[in-house]
């Protein structure tokens, strides 16, 4: 197990380093000068020179690369070109918001996805199964830039107007730090696709597991149906579900540009997209680096959980069963 962990860990470090290096050098390939973009064409050469000096843009690429990597090792990603905010403090304020949305969304997605998938599996071939799977197809197919405005149109703009006397608190237009209800729509939009994917995965995985011999044996031995399902079936059927949930969570943590923009959530997603158009390299590089790291860490955690649930998966790295 130790060797397995070490192997995964080293692989993770190499991956993160490769990502940091690629995002750094890719900046040199994009057209557009960040100084000109920030200051405009009419700006003073003195200001441009000072800007380049301050951000180290006047140094040769390799020297900048060394500074950049050295900075990363003690958490310094530089300051945003656009508003001088240190990238680390941007993360400190933006990431918790994205994280909260991601946690709520993955929780909702798992609840709905596993429930739906299980019901569909148990009712396989019936009308219930087919309607649920049709709904899941919609969940997978409708992109969030469609879903978000549709939900806003229904629950924010239309229903409150049509049903003014209904004693219901309708969700507000935008996220607000002191209104928990304002999380509802962003979380639902974020959860829709992962929920659908998890439902599909749960269904197929359960069906396959329920067909296994040991389940039949368990049934023959007279175990209670809920014990069979929750103890014997779920533990084995859950592995692929875990993988897809892990991946989905990784994506959720990188923040959704669409959801954060539409609901005005000051998280990672909304800010990172504008950093591309303004060539805000410290923000682009810092965001990419941290998100890639999170992604890699989540994947490692999934691997470890996998190894925990299924000892066979450890064999690849160790050559023999643990």
Residues forming contacts to other proteins in the complex (CB under 8 A) are 31-33, 36-44, 46-51, 82-85, 93-94, 108, 111-112, 115, 118-119, 122, 149, 152, 156-157, 160, 169-170, 172-174, 176-184, 187-188, 225-226, 229, 261-264, 266, 270-271, 274, 277-279
Q: Minimum distance from CB of 221 to other proteins (Å)?
A: 15
Nearer residue to other proteins within complex by CB, 71 or 270: 270
Q: Minimum distance from CB of 41 to other proteins (Å)?
A: 5
Helix (H, G, I), strand (E, B) or coil at 79: strand
Nearer residue to other proteins within complex by CB, 108 or 252: 108
Of 312, 8, 236, nearest in space to 321 by CA:
312
Give 3-state DSSP helix, strand, coil % of the chain, rounded to 5. Answer: 75, 0, 25
Nearer residue to other proteins within complex by CB, 80 or 299: 80
Q: Locate 41 and state its tokens.
A: 């064409």
CA atoms lying within 13 Å on the CB side of residue 42: 0
Q: Minimum distance from CB of 268 to other proteins (Å)?
A: 11
Residue 172 is classified by DSSP as P
Handedness of CA 227, 231, 233, 238 (dihedral sign): positive
Q: Minimum distance from CB of 193 to other proteins (Å)?
A: 17
Nearer residue to other proteins within complex by CB, 112 or 197: 112
- Judge contact between 272 and 80, C-beta under 8 A: no
Residue 86 is classified by DSSP as B
Q: Minimum distance from CB of 321 to other proteins (Å)?
A: 34
Q: Minimum distance from CB of 183 to other proteins (Å)?
A: 8
Nearer residue to other proteins within complex by CB, 55 or 64: 55
Residues 6+ apart with CB under 8 A from 19: 288, 289, 292
Q: Minimum distance from CB of 122 to other proteins (Å)?
A: 7
Nearer residue to other proteins within complex by CB, 207 or 304: 207
Length of the chain: 322
Nearer residue to other proteins within complex by CB, 16 or 258: 258
- Judge contact between 185 and 263, C-beta under 8 A: yes
How far apart CA 118 and CA 201 sit, in angstroms, is: 10
How far apart CA 134 and CA 140 sit, in angstroms, is: 10
């Amino acid at each position: 197990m130790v060797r397995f962990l070490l192997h995964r860990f080293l692989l993770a470090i190499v991956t993160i380093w490769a990502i940091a290096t690629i995002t750094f050098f890719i900046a040199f390939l994009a057209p557009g000068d960040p100084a000109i973009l920030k200051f405009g064409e009419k700006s003073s050469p003195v200001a441009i020179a000072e800007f380049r000096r301050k951000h180290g843009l006047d140094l040769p690429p390799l020297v900048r690369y060394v500074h950049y990597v050295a900075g990363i090792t003690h958490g310094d990603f530089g300051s945003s070109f656009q508003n001088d905010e240190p990238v680390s403090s941007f993360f400190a304020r933006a990431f918790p918001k994205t994280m909260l949305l991601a946690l709520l969304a993955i929780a909702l997605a798992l609840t709905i996805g596993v429930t739906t998938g299980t019901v569909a599996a148990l009712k396989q071939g019936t009308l219930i199964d087919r309607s649920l799977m049709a709904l899941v197809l919609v969940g997978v197919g409708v992109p969030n830039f469609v879903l978000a405005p549709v939900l806003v149109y229904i629950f924010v703009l239309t229903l409150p107007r049509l049903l003014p006397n209904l004693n219901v608190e309708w969700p507000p237009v935008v996220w607000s730090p002191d209104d928990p209800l304002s999380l509802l729509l962003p979380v639902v939009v974020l959860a829709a696709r992962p929920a659908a994917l998890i439902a599909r995965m749960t269904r197929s995985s359960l069906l396959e597991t329920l067909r296994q011999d040991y389940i039949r044996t368990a049934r023959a031995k007279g175990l209670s149906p809920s014990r069979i399902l929750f103890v014997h079936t779920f533990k084995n059927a859950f592995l692929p579900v875990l993988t897809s949930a892990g991946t989905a969570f990784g994506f959720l943590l990188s923040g959704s540009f669409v959801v954060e923009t539409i609901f005005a959530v000051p998280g990672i997603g909304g800010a990172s997209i504008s950093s591309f158009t303004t060539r805000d390299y410290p923000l682009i590089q810092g965001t990419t680096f941290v998100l890639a790291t999170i992604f890699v860490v989540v994947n490692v955690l999934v691997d470890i959980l996998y190894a925990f649930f299924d000892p066979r998966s450890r064999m690849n790295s160790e050559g023999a069963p643990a």
